[in-house]
A = this chain, B = another copy of it.
Amino acid sequence: MPDGTNTGRPRTRIQQRNRDLILGAALDVFSLNGFRGSTLDEIATQAGLSKPNLLYYFPSKDAIHTELLSGLMDTWLDPLRDLDAHGDPIPELLAYVERKLEMSRLYPRESRLFANEIVQGAPRILSALQGDLKHLVDEKVVVIRGWMDTGQIAHVHPYHLLFSIWSLTQHYADFDVQVRAVLGQEEPFQEAPAYLKGIFLKILTP
């Protein structure tokens, strides 16, 4: 019956299991090759299912990708949502940096999926970027500007400050190969938290 499965039925264990298998495999493949560079055969093999079986659960390659992206968008913005306007500004921002870095460490595939999509022009999520993302950012920038105006943190361009946080934290997931090639033995995530905390403290201290 599945595919879109818009009928409000509750989804059986086997449906749940196979959808999870497919989405997991698709995350592996899409995050490594981008949308156009990935094939259904590869996803099917990775998931341990046959290709027609994939298409029994999802109507198309596009649908799998869209499902992944839209499911991820929320999770990805959660750390920013949790930035508390009523918290202590500097610890609050440092905690945000830490949460974002933790996302890179725990969910590198998700980070790379986004990176691929955006590097390649964000054809499928541009509207989400201009909508949900921009609105959330605008809202939080008001908070940050407030902290700056009351002298609680240094005055820097708030949008570019957020870009810095995204860029620096996601770098450890997206450019993992390069980071490891340069570091050699050293584990990237051993020093990264302290390093980032240190530099953002300098950036934010008034």
Residue numbers of A with Cβ under 8 A of B are: 32-38, 112, 115-116, 118-122, 126, 129-130, 133-134, 137, 154, 156-157, 159-164, 166-168, 171-172, 174-175, 177-179, 181-184, 186, 191-192, 195-196, 198-199, 202-203
Contact = CB atoms under 8 A, between A and B. Distances in A.
21 contacts: A32-B120, A32-B121, A33-B37, A34-B36, A36-B36, A37-B37, A115-B115, A115-B119, A118-B174, A118-B175, A121-B177, A122-B181, A126-B177, A129-B181, A130-B181, A137-B182, A156-B198, A159-B186, A160-B192, A164-B199, A167-B175
Given A121-B32, A184-B134, A202-B202, A191 B157 contact: yes
B156 A195 contact: yes
A66 to B, nearest CB: 17
B182 A171 contact: no
Contacts of A162: 182
Contacts of A175: 115, 118-119, 163, 166-167
Contact of A177 (B116, B129, B168): B129
A133 B182 contact: yes
Given A130-B181, A133-B181, 16 more contacts: A34-B116, A34-B120, A36-B38, A112-B119, A115-B174, A116-B119, A118-B178, A129-B182, A133-B178, A154-B202, A157-B195, A162-B182, A163-B172, A163-B182, A166-B175, A167-B168
Nearest to A131: B181
A120 B37 CA distance: 10
A94 to B, nearest CB: 15
Contacts of A32: 120-121
B134 A191 contact: no
A59 B123 CA distance: 31
